[in-house]
Amino acid sequence: MAKLFSKCLALLCGVALTAGAAFAQDSGPLLDLLVKKGIVTDQEAEQLRAELVKDFAANTSAGKLNLSSSLTELRVSGDVRLRYEYREGETLAGDNVERGRLRYRLRPTITGQLGSDWFFGFRLENGSGARSSNVTLSDQGGPWAKTNDTVYIGQVYLGYRPNADWTITGGRIPNPFVNTLLVWDGDINPEGFAEQFKKTSGSTTYFANFGQFLYDSANPQNNTAPTIDRQDQYMLGWQGGVTVKLNETDSVQFAPTLYNYVNNKRTSKNFAGAFTPANLTAINNLFVADLPFEYNFVLPGMAPSRVFGDIAYNFDGTQRAKKFGRPDLDNQVYAWQAGYQYGKAKLKGEWDAKLYYQATGLFALDPNLVDSDIFDSRTNMNGVVFTTNYMLTDAVTFSLTYANGAAKNKTAVTAGSGDIGIATLNKFNLLQFDVVAKF
């Protein structure tokens, strides 16, 4: 019996050391079987179980990582980006302002699954801005100082999937809406809650996305003094859409959306009052309908292609123009984008190129959300954008972006808080070179 036990012990230890943590944790049934057959006693089985765990922790590096038993999946990922950027703005008088800079971005991410229904996500970023997580090199008060190299929480959320069709997320969350850079900057992670639905039937996928975002938190609230009585401001979104597969390679997608803003009280904290040349962040009179769409197809002998666009209209834009003091510009309530993409860079040696035109009326969209790079975060702008990507490896991409824009109406400001310090841009040029590594 002693010899048989010794052989079993040697066998279990050998397999445990080669199979890793999974075997060390799951060896219980085999030990129970040995006890049941009378080969080992309960005490000997417990000693053997302890030795397996001890040997694994002592002889493997992975054994030193102790994960919660409630964690069924953990994933570490992220990206690093190096960028050279050149911006040029021209005033109405013809004077130029130029800005060239080297920048970097780091965004490590941890996501995990808790059982089959719950999940979480956590991402760090090195930039404090809502629309940018970039840091400019040598722009921190001295040679190689680290004043601006600070770590911030870019995403932190908890999610629940009650079934295969619905997902509910809360916290500082990834944008839940199908969108384009016409309406949303790609770096924005809204704070609040989102509910997402997706269901496929045959060749058609139906989806719906809803968002309740806390736009600005007021303090104090409902105070007895009227001059400081404030309320939280909210942005609400409703989206319903459909994706239809026309064949194995071609598909079409439409995602009509409504965005509304709640509690724009005059005494609210940051984004209240009327939208005026002196108050260009106000969110009054914004009830925006948005329709992003795309058509994906493959022509014989060619790479995948995509025709895409976006159309937005502010139903309350006329009142926004009136409060701005320019009722004559009530036609500045539309925004649109249209473009074409050839190729889809995913693996080493692949490339793609995208060209599109974009125009945004002064009163069409929320100036706090539009893309911070294309046209310098401004509304009342139109122009052309070109981007191309080339995969240096499966994980490293080289990208080039060029944008050339101009004011739609030169008698009004180009509203927005861009990096070029000109109240009204006559023209704007942007050039970016990026190297992005994903891990």
Residues of the chain with pLDDT > 90: what percent? 68
Take residue 149 and report the two structure tokens written for it.
């190299």
Q: Are 254 and 268 in contact (CB under 8 A)?
A: no
**Whole-Å CA distances, 429 to 283, 347, 367:** 27, 31, 19
Q: What average pLDDT does the segment 327-346 reach?
A: 97
Digit-coded pLDDT (tens) for 188-243: 999 999 999 999 999 999 999 999 999 998 776 666 655 566 778 999 999 999 99
Helices (H), 312-414: 317-324
Span of 30-34, 109-113, 133-137, 157-161 with lowest mean pLDDT: 30-34
Contacts of 188-196 with C-beta under 8 Å, sequence gap 24+, read 188/130, 188/131, 188/369, 189/154, 189/155, 190/235, 192/234, 193/168, 193/169, 194/168, 194/169, 194/170, 195/166, 195/167, 195/168, 195/169, 196/166, 196/167, 196/168, 196/169
Query: According to the model, what pLDDT value does residue 12 have?
Result: 47
Tokens 């997402």: give the residue: 196
220 upstream amide cis, omega within 30 of 0: yes
What CATH number has the domain spanning 71-438? Answer: 2.40.160.10
* Whole-angstrom distance, CA of residue 5 vs CA of residue 9: 6
Place of tokens 């064949």: 247
Q: What is the amino acid identity at position 187?
A: D
Residue 248: CB atoms within 10 Å: 7
Question: For 133-159, b where at least 16 C-beta lie within 10 A, e where not — what string?
Answer: bbbbeeeeeeeeeeeeeeeeebbebeb
Hunting for tokens 């890793």 — which residue is that?
20
For 343-400, what is each residue's pLDDT tens digit?
999 999 999 999 999 999 999 999 999 999 999 999 999 999 999 999 999 999 999 9
User: What pLDDT shows up at residue 316?
Assistant: 97
Two tokens, residue 221: 């609230």
pLDDT computed for residue 253 by the predictor: 98
Q: Exposure of 312 by Cβ count < 10 A (0-12 exposed, 13-18 middle, 19+ buried)?
A: buried
Neighbours of 354 (CB within 10 A): 17
Report the C-alpha gap between 380 and 181 in whole angstroms.
Answer: 15
Rounded to an integer, what distance in angstroms lies between the CA atom of residue 428 and that of residue 360? 14
Q: What is the pTM of this model?
A: 0.83
Domain boundaries, the chain: 2-64, 71-438
Q: How far apart are CA 6 and CA 24, in angstroms?
A: 18
Count of other CB atoms within 10 angstroms of residue 387: 19
CA 189 to CA 175: how far, in whole Å?
6
408 touches 380 (CB < 8 A): yes
